[in-house]
Amino acid sequence: MNYRHSFHAGNSADVVKHSLLIELVRALQQKPGALTLIDTHAGCGLYDLGGEDARRTGEALQGVLRTFEDANPLLDDYRAAVRAVNVSSEPHLYPGSPRILAQLVRPQDFLILNEKHPEDADTLRRAMRDTSAAVHERDAYEFWRAMVPPRTARGVVIVDPPYEQTDERARITATLAAAYPKWSHGVTVIWYPLKDRSLHWRWKEQLRSLGIRKFLNVEHWLYDVDQPGIYNGAGLFIINPPYAFTQALPPMLEVLRAVLAPEGHRGAITADWLTG
């Protein structure tokens, strides 16, 4: 499955991913110590919702634009992050994870980004030129292994690949198995699309076998049954989520489901511990 960011910017998966990422970083920032925020598959950083790729799918209509029609205060931080890259009240541009993280960093924090595709890396550098972010152009999994542990005691690694390669899940599993022992107390966030339930369950069993103690799994299934030929939702694996984040998670998930549920489908947003 090809999940290039530009085709799906601002869709329901982005809303869940970015709203929870904001809450996660905010929870970690309740302590004053410095954080290192590392994005292994950073993409272009900023996306035009009126561009050819985004218009081809039209997925923002069922994602970010729905949140702007809703007044629930739990989504205020997410909407503010989107408004920050737009000059009008309506979102025409969508911030990828790098631009959202850049809004969150404090003076003592570090933001380190990586994008392997040369054209996307050039676009990312332009999108981040008004920030303090460092931008690398390396193989994402080599970069992930090399960057942990970071120089700061605490931090977050965000792994958000396009799943272009058939071995993407295997590479994630192998890299996590190598990186976790080096930084067992660090926070890692792994995003993934949901398409084939049986394939996904097999992957979860492989990850479960790694024996990671605090391994949270958040999943948003859009539909009651798999819909052929389209993605059926998305999820996040979150290793070592902070307590403040997990305590605030249930009401946030309820709001997200209420805003994003497709008409005529119940679906579900769930949060379960994979291990521990």
Catalytic residues: 160
Residue 263, exposed/middle/buried by CB under 10 A (0-12, 13-18, 19+)? exposed
Inter-residue contact 117 to 39 (CB < 8 Å) = no
- Phi first, then psi, for residue 265 (nearest 5°) are -130, 135
Q: How many CB atoms lie within 10 A of CB 270?
A: 12
Q: Which of 111, 93, 90, 120 is nearest to 35 (CA)?
A: 111
Give the 3-state secondary structure of residue 211: coil
The CA distance from 193 to 220, in Å, is: 9
Mapping DSSP to helix (H, G, I), strand (E, B) and coil, where does residue 96 land?
coil
Tell me what percent of the chain is helix, strand and coil, each rounded to the nearest 5.
40, 20, 40
Instruction: Write the CB contacts of 132 (distance below 8 Å, at least 6 apart in sequence).
Output: 102, 105, 110, 111
Sign of CA dihedral 49, 89, 126, 172: negative
**Helix segments in the chain, DSSP class H:** 5-8, 12-28, 52-57, 64-67, 76-83, 97-104, 118-127, 140-147, 168-179, 197-208, 243-260
Q: φ, ψ for residue 261 (rounded to 5)?
A: -60, 125
Nearest by Cα to 46 from 133, 110, 106, 170: 133
